Amino acid sequence: MKTMREAVAEITPEITAMRVHIHEHPELSMQEYETCAYLEDYVRKNVKYDQLKRVGETGLFFEIRGTKPGNGPTIVFRGDIDALPIQEDPSISPCSKVPGVMHACGHDVHGVINVGAAKILSEHKDLFSGSIYFFIQPAEETLQGAKLFLNDPDIDFDKIDAVAALHISAELDAGTIGVRYGAILASADEIHIKVNGKGGHAAHCHTLRDPVVAASAIVMGLQTLVSRETNPANSVVISICTIHGGQAHNTMPDSVELSGTVRTLNPADRDRMEESVKRVAASVAEAYRCTAEVDYIRGVPPFICEDEWVDRALRVGKKVLGEENTKIMPYAAMGGEDFAYIKEKKPGIFVRLGVRTPGGPYGSAHSSTFYCDNACIPTGMLTILGLAEDYLGFTF
């Protein structure tokens, strides 16, 4: 029987070729028709699955069920597959062939490492009891895809015991992984504030109630929620990203509209920020003889990893990659991830997969110069296999 590394090395060329194909033919969120079909075709031809079905129009669920006697647990591995509306720098190789669309967040890698690992796992079903579910997920970038799986009547989440996802990191070298105890990703909430005053001629400002000045004060006041009301050991972000009001340079509008995002790493800070944003907006507006309407829309929760699962990932990484290639991330990222909707219901892990060429240029995610060194592909498959092996209690 092949060792884990031998099995991964054998299929790495075909999985890498698949990654190149998907990278050259990216598809936006909820439009991943060809990508999903391409990965489904590979699964049907190469994976000894026990059940397989579409989730929505562009998602894929399949199960590999162990045949070893006993009642083992069930673990989910997620691989997202959508691209972004960004024009790729033509110097990057491989390069998108679709104008204005590129895989700028590594989801081409995520999809293929999961189906590659699934192929190998399905050839060793006799070694474990329990089940391995794979979620090939659309629309992570628009935070829609995970809910398709949560709402699918044919997926029984009561049977799921743990969940795991690998996601690229441009901060780490290809060949390495990174994990973090506690929160590794933030919640991502949306705020809309409408400041209502009384408009009129700008020269007669004493007769008006200026919503522009009030809105400006609200923007500044919200920042004190971070600097003066949040424990300095915690991370909170409030960013006001749009301001709209008025039609003419000499006419004060009746209202100004603001929108932005709030990011936190723990549920207590998240609850506090919702109350505090509403309080500050209302009280500051009142000080300027205006009123404020706040719409606070909760998005994805923070992604919090249990210590047991971080310990497992570190153990696995040191075993299959080496201690020097297994990192502790120094801080959480304040970005959001819709797999957190699933994670908040189950224990599990989010593993950062290094993709930067060692000593090579830095290509930021969500930028036109983002790239993935293909050396990350066997690393990703080895990590998935190692996590499955450790959790389900078998050895290749």
Q: Tell me, what's the pLDDT at 142? A: 96
Residue among 279, 296, 295, 298 nearest 218 (CA): 279
Residues 97-126: pLDDT tens digits?
A: 999 999 999 999 999 999 999 999 999 999
Q: For residue 283, what are the domain limits?
A: 188-298
Give dist(CA 131, CA 72) in Å, integer: 7
SS3 (DSSP) at 102: strand
Q: What's the number of domains the chain is made of? A: 2
Asked whether residue 326 falls in the same domain as residue 181, the answer is yes
| In contact, 194 and 263? CB cutoff 8 Å | no
Stated pTM of the model: 0.95
CB contact set of 345 (below 8 Å; sequence gap of 6+): 157
Query: In this structure, what CATH number is given to the domain that contains residue 382?
Result: 3.40.630.10
Give dist(CA 155, CA 14) in Å, integer: 30
Tell me the average pLDDT of the chain. Answer: 97
Residues 370-380: pLDDT tens digits?
A: 999 999 999 99
Residue percentage of the chain with pLDDT more than 70 = 100
Asked whether residue 108 falls in the same domain as residue 15, the answer is yes
Asked whether residue 21 falls in the same domain as residue 158, the answer is yes
Q: Of 298, 322, 355, at which residue does a domain stop? A: 298
Asked whether residue 194 falls in the same domain as residue 216, the answer is yes
Asked whether residue 116 falls in the same domain as residue 265, the answer is no
Asked whether residue 74 falls in the same domain as residue 171, the answer is yes
Asked whether residue 176 falls in the same domain as residue 199, the answer is no
Asked whether residue 223 falls in the same domain as residue 162, the answer is no
Residues 157-198: pLDDT tens digits?
A: 999 999 999 999 999 999 999 999 999 999 999 999 999 999
Q: Tell me, what's the pLDDT at 94? A: 98
The alpha carbon of 375 is separated from its chain's Cα centroid by a whole number of angstroms, namely 21
Q: Tell me, what's the pLDDT at 240? A: 98
Asked whether residue 42 falls in the same domain as residue 125, the answer is yes
Token pair of 308, please? 């047991």
Q: Of 298, 323, 340, at which residue does a domain stop? A: 298
Query: In this structure, what CATH number is given to the domain that contains residue 246?
Result: 3.30.70.360
The number of beta carbons lying within 10 Å of the beta carbon of residue 255 is: 21
Asked whether residue 239 falls in the same domain as residue 251, the answer is yes
Read off the pLDDT band of 1 (50, 70, 90): confident
Q: Given the DSSP bridges, would you call strands 182-185 and 177-179 parallel, antiparallel or unpaired?
A: unpaired
Please provide the DSSP assignment of 13-66 as one string. HHHHHHHHHHHHS---TT--HHHHHHHHHHHHHH---SEEEEETTTEEEEEEE-
Asked whether residue 306 falls in the same domain as residue 321, the answer is yes
Residues 129-146: pLDDT tens digits?
A: 999 999 999 999 999 999
Asked whether residue 267 falls in the same domain as residue 348, the answer is no
| In contact, 163 and 76? CB cutoff 8 Å | yes
SS3 (DSSP) at 81: coil
Q: Tell me, what's the pLDDT at 200? A: 96
Q: Of 260, 282, 298, at which residue does a domain stop? A: 298
Residues 5-57: pLDDT tens digits?
A: 999 999 999 999 999 999 999 999 999 999 999 999 999 999 999 999 999 99
Residues 216-259: pLDDT tens digits?
A: 999 999 999 999 999 999 999 999 999 999 999 999 999 999 99
Helix, strand, coil % over all residues of the chain, rounded to 5: 35, 25, 35
Please provide the DSSP assignment of 141-203 as one string. TTT-HHHHHHT-TT--GGG--EEEEEEEEEEEETT-EEE-SEEEE--EEEEEEEEE-B-EEGG
Please provide the DSSP assignment of 278-315 as one string. HHHHHHHHHHTT-EEEEEEEEEEPPEEE-HHHHHHHHH
